[in-house]
Amino acid sequence: MGMSAFRKMVSCVLLTIFPGSLLAADSGAAMLYTHGAAWLNGAHVPTSSAIFSGDLVQTRSDSAANISAPGSSVTVLGDSLVQFEGASLKVEHGGVSVSTSKGVATTAGDVRVAPVSNTWTEFNVTDTDGTVRIAAVKGDLSVTDDNGTVTLAQGQQTTRDEQSDQSTDTDKDKKKNKKRATGAAPGAVGGVLSSPLAIGIGAAAIAGVTAWVLIRNDNPVSPSTPQ
Share the mean pLDDT of the chain: 77
pLDDT at 9: 57
User: Does residue 169 lie within any of the structural domains?
Assistant: yes
User: Does residue 225 lie within any of the structural domains?
Assistant: no
CB 132 within 8 A of CB 161: yes
* CA distances from residue 161 to 158, 166, 172, 217 in whole angstroms, order as listed: 11, 12, 12, 69
79: left (phi over 0), alpha (psi -120 to 50) or beta: left
Given a cut of 90, whether residue 169 has pLDDT beyond it is: no
Residues 6+ apart with CB under 8 A from 3: 193
User: Does residue 94 lie within any of the structural domains?
Assistant: yes
- CATH number for the domain that contains residue 97: 2.60.120.1440
User: Does residue 221 lie within any of the structural domains?
Assistant: no
* CA distances from residue 68 to 26, 37, 44, 202, 208 in whole angstroms, order as listed: 12, 18, 18, 26, 33
Residue 199, φ and ψ in degrees, nearest 5: -65, -40
CB 91 within 8 A of CB 75: no
> How far is CA 150 from its chain centroid?
27
User: Does residue 100 lie within any of the structural domains?
Assistant: yes
Distance CA 11, CA 180 (A): 31
Residue closest to 149 by CA, chosen among 191, 110, 201 = 110
Given a cut of 70, whether residue 21 has pLDDT beyond it is: no
pLDDT at 220: 45
CB 134 within 8 A of CB 160: yes
pLDDT at 28: 75
pLDDT in tens, 85-143: 999 999 999 999 999 999 999 999 999 999 999 999 999 999 999 999 999 999 999 99
User: Does residue 223 lie within any of the structural domains?
Assistant: no
pLDDT at 25: 46
Distance CA 136, CA 206 (A): 50
Kind and range of the H or E run holding 38: strand 38-40
Given a cut of 90, whether residue 173 has pLDDT beyond it is: no
CB 107 within 8 A of CB 91: yes
pLDDT in tens, 29-54: 999 999 999 999 999 998 999 999 99
* CA distances from residue 58 to 32, 45, 51, 76, 121 in whole angstroms, order as listed: 11, 10, 13, 8, 24
β-bridge mates for residue 66, sequence order: 33, 75
User: Does residue 222 lie within any of the structural domains?
Assistant: no
How many distinct structural domains can be found in the chain? 1
The domain of 89 spans 3-216
